[in-house]
A and B are shown apart, each in its own frame.
Chain A
Amino acid sequence: MTSSDKNPIIVVENLTARFGDRTIFTNVSFQVNEGEVLVILGGSGCGKSTLMKQMIGLYRPASGRVLIKGVDINTPDEVQLRQLRMQIGVLFQSSALFGSMTLGENVALPLGEYTDLSPASIDLLVRMKLAMVNLTGSAELLPSELSGGMKKRAGLARAMALDPSILFFDEPSAGLDPITSAELDNLIKTINSSLGTTMVIVTHELESIFDIAHRVVMLDKTAKGLIAEGDPHYLREHSTDPRVVNFFQRRVGELK
């Protein structure tokens, strides 16, 4: 499946984020198509992670709404919310693995909560998921025994446990060496092309962006909103907005 299908799975409408008196961004609207890899990018402090947390329902927007498969993520309907949560997997920046559980238990947790599968089936699925992220035979390890890259992959295995149709990644390559980071990018591409999973990725790693993104949306701190949207390669070559050009060419903009 490619982005050409143009079947919106996530619709972000006029989203505004505010912490106290401080407005992070206003009136952000865009949509994510089914099977697409969309990267949210922008400099530090522009609200990329806030936007993602609003999209997954961790932060309530000051105004606007996020529809996932037509359902408002801030719906008060418990049953709808539960079904929605099964459709979403999130890989947090710190991987957020539970330190007191083994990798196997971490991956098994959503399976046990959301399905009626027997322990044997869950065990089989856990082994399959860990193998998908190249962590075969690591089910008994504790997160504290893993390297940063392994933690990310284990976090991804847990995010994929329920075969969600949408995966969110918060800075997946932060703190990883270039090779591990490229491996993770490859994994993201493989999962996207094999399972057709829609992916929303927050990152500012240029190499990753050009490698994996079908489309990007760019936030800007001073504009407090979206300043560009489209194919990253096209934007790099054809954008006339100096903020976009500076970002893609790693140029320091004029100091104000």
Chain B
Amino acid sequence: MPTTSRPKPDYAFQIEGQKREKIILSISGRLVLEHLEHLESEYAAFLTEMRPAELTVDVSQVEYLDSAGALALIQMEDQAKAQNLPFQLVNLTDAARRIMALVDRQALQPSPPVPKPRPWKALEQVGAVSLSVLNDFVQVLTFLGGLLIALAQSFRHPGKIRWGDTLFYMKRAGVDGLPIVGLISLLLGLIIAFMSSLQLKQFGANIYVASLLAIAMVKELGPIMTAILVAGRSGSAFAAEIGTMMVNEEVDALIIMGFDPLKFLALPKVLATMLVVPVLTLYADFFGLIGGMIVGVVGLDLTVFSYISQTQKSLNLFDLLSSLVKSAVFALLIAGIGCQRGFQVRGGAEAVGSATTSAVVAAIFLIIVTDSAFAIVLHYLR
């Protein structure tokens, strides 16, 4: 913020009369906002020093008065009255009188303090938070349920799906995300292979770097990293888009025109995300494994062939398919929560911001929870 030097007050007091007697205080110059407090303190000092028995304030020499200046004159009078001092304001011009008439003296009194709600006790807070989390969970589940029903209905009438929008969001969530997903996965593969090689080298088990990375990447890291990236890129975008439409009453317009916002807005996004996230996951797996292979070949003296064959030995089709199913479920969660948070927006710009944040946080949380559930279920399924 550029600083401006505080201008010198361009008003002056002229005092006629003796201490503790009738005094005429003539004010000249400009009474404006910038000098409000200066004027008040100078006046207070004048009252303390002169202690007038009767005070007349003459404003005939005031050249300019704004509403803050008018406020200052009114406060002068109030202050004098509070000290039981006879006060008179004289030679007010018509313009000054009109400005003073604008000031509502009643409104200047501080409004009675609003009683603050009793602070909640710790147990109540825990209860309230638990209820709101539960409520939120139920809302998310209800929304996802509605979404699944809409999805099922759409498969019976595929012509009714908005394919144009679906393709648009497939590009947004999928194609546009390829560079970042590829780069992150490659680096992740490099890091994990490098860190694990430091340990495995000690046992001469270099080749198992390939196994470790294949299992970690395909089963867990590929789907999770892809999902987290998509949540950050697309889940947030969905929440912001639908949230802004809520604020602008566009969603209301859709409802009035007989469209189901769930099918019109949410379904193409969810469908697009569910179609592209498994593909992105495969792509992430591939780049992760390439990263590992770079470490294996350059740092561990493995051949490309032995690295690939060890990777193949460590994986089977079930692992790959289950990870793709998992990523499709993650996609449903990401897009579903993004849309649900968007539809929850009420109010203005701030609500859109918090919906966006909440969409990403909730999606990542649910991705991890669902992944844990998958880990247990898949373990017993094999």
Contact = CB atoms under 8 A, between A and B. Distances in A.
> A and B from one assembly?
yes
Interface of A: 1, 78-79, 82-83, 99-100, 113, 115-118, 121, 123-125, 127-132, 136-137, 139-140, 143-144, 160, 162-163, 190-191, 193-196
B107 A136 contact: yes
Given A115-B33, A163-B68, A194-B101, A144 B108 contact: no
B349 interface: yes
Contacts of B32: 163
A139 B71 contact: no
B249 interface: no
A182 to B, nearest CB: 19
B176 interface: no
A103 to B, nearest CB: 13
B84 interface: no
Contact of B71 (A113, A124, A130): A124
A24 B32 CA distance: 40
A116 B347 contact: no
Given A128-B104, A163-B67, 4 more contacts: A115-B33, A127-B111, A131-B106, A140-B114
A117 B36 CA distance: 8
Given A83-B4, A128-B108, A130-B107, A121 B67 contact: no
A78 B350 CA distance: 30
B123 interface: no
B1 interface: yes
Contact of A128 (B37, B101, B103, B350): B103
Contacts of A123: 110
The majority secondary structure among interface residues of chain A is helix
Contacts of B37: 116-118, 121
Contacts of B33: 115, 117, 125, 162-163
B144 interface: no
A145 to B, nearest CB: 10
A83 B68 CA distance: 18
Contacts of B110: 123, 127
A144 B348 contact: yes
A144 B352 CA distance: 14
B111 A139 contact: yes
B236 to A, nearest CB: 19
Contacts of A127: 107-108, 110-111
B99 A195 contact: yes
A131 B74 CA distance: 15
Contact of A82 (B2, B106, B107, B111): B2
Given A116-B6, A117-B37, A139-B111, A128 B349 contact: no
B205 interface: no
Q: Which 5 A-B pairs have the closest CB atoms?
A: A131-B107, A99-B348, A131-B104, A163-B66, A194-B98
Contacts of B67: 128-129, 132, 160, 163, 195
B16 interface: no
The majority secondary structure among interface residues of chain B is helix
B95 interface: yes
Contact of A136 (B36, B106, B349): B106
B68 A125 contact: yes
A99 B349 contact: yes
B4 A82 contact: yes
Contacts of A136: 104, 106-107
Contacts of B136: none
A194 B37 CA distance: 23
A230 B32 CA distance: 33
Nearest to B103: A128
B107 A196 contact: no
B34 interface: yes
A170 B6 CA distance: 32
A193 B98 CA distance: 8
Contacts of A160: 67
B83 to A, nearest CB: 19
A143 B106 contact: no
A191 B67 CA distance: 10
A79 B4 contact: yes
Q: Most chain-A Cβ atoms within 10 A of its Cβ — which of B67, B99, B347?
A: B67
A193 B95 CA distance: 8
A113 B350 CA distance: 22
Given A78-B2, A143-B348, A144-B347, A195 B66 contact: yes
Nearest to B353: A100
B102 interface: yes
Interface string B90-119: 000001001101111011101100100000
6 contacts: A99-B347, A99-B349, A115-B34, A128-B107, A131-B103, A143-B348
B66 A100 contact: no
B5 to A, nearest CB: 10
A137 B103 CA distance: 14
A194 B99 contact: yes
Interface string B27-65: 000001110110010000000000000000000000000
A196 B102 CA distance: 12
A162 to B, nearest CB: 6
A123 to B, nearest CB: 8
A100 B101 CA distance: 33
Nearest to B96: A194
A137 B104 CA distance: 12
B71 A125 contact: yes
Contacts of A191: 102
A190 B66 CA distance: 14
A59 to B, nearest CB: 22
Q: Most chain-B Cβ atoms within 10 A of its Cβ — which of A78, A116, A160, A163?
A: A163
Q: Most chain-B Cβ atoms within 10 A of its Cβ — which of A78, A131, A137, A193?
A: A131
